[in-house]
Amino acid sequence: MPHLYRLALSIHVLGGITGLAAFWTPALARKGGTTHVRVGRIFYNATCVVALTGLAMAAMIAVAPAPGRPRVLAAFLAYLVIITFAPAHHGVRVLETRREPAKLRTPFHTALNSTAIVAAFAMIGLAFAVRQPVFAALSPIGLLVGRGNLRYARLPGTTQMSWWYEHMGSMLGAGIAFHTAFLVIGAGRFLGAYFTGLYAVVPWVLPSIIGIPATRIWIGYYRRKFERRDAPASAGRGMSAGYGEASP
């Protein structure tokens, strides 16, 4: 079991580093371009690797806890997997189903995002049970992700570019999760010397504090950009032509 855990951890870290590196290329590249699409797929595949190995490690910890790896860590690791994978999966599915948003309502999509909501409330209870403020600090993410994704699947928006805003927001949300994991896991030993006690929560919430407002500003920029277009017919042709033409 220890050997399997170390193997899963190594693959998990490699997937996390790959996803973190791949995130910034599609975020900054021309939207819908070849680079954006190809590197975006790498980011999503890395997210899948992180999710699978994270769940495997959580299962191994739950079955055979060890010093430094208590069973409570299994529950928290599973929660991190959910809040990382759910927005990435939703963002990809929004892109695939933008002409038919009703197709988002698959059993897997509903189950995944419903689980995110349930897990968010479970984290609040666990935070009080084990007196861990980090659990409580991250619990709203699962609620916001799950509720937002389910809501969009049923009320996809009233504008032609609603799918664009939803895709962008979801993928940026997944990026926030990756950066959170990096600060806590990748740089955790270094930062741990500076953030102790109640301040230990800072590396966990800092990416969200910066990333969520930045995401709103970014989406707002594109929303204003699209709304300034004078020719609705031209915008309609851009959407029907595909992701690349609808993008600046």
Interatomic CA distance for residues 89 and 133, integer angstroms: 28
- Which is more confidently placed, 235 or 137? 137
Q: Which of 172, 245, 162 lies closest to 214 in space, CA to CA?
A: 172
Interatomic CA distance for residues 223 and 217, integer angstroms: 10
Interatomic CA distance for residues 115 and 76, integer angstroms: 13
In the predicted model, what is the mean pLDDT of residues 150-173?
Answer: 86
Torsions phi, psi for 69 (to 5 deg): -135, 70
The mean predicted confidence, pLDDT, of the chain is 81
pTM of the predicted structure, to 2 decimals? 0.81
Residue entry with tokens 């979801």: 170
Residue 66 pLDDT: 79
In the predicted model, what is the mean pLDDT of residues 124-142?
Answer: 86
Q: What one-character DSSP code corresponds to residue 30?
A: P
Residue entry with tokens 């009320």: 155
Q: How does pLDDT run across 67-94, given as a tens digit for each residue?
A: 777 888 889 889 989 999 999 999 999 9
Interatomic CA distance for residues 165 and 231, integer angstroms: 20
Q: Which of 125, 121, 122, 135 lies closest to 184 in space, CA to CA?
A: 135
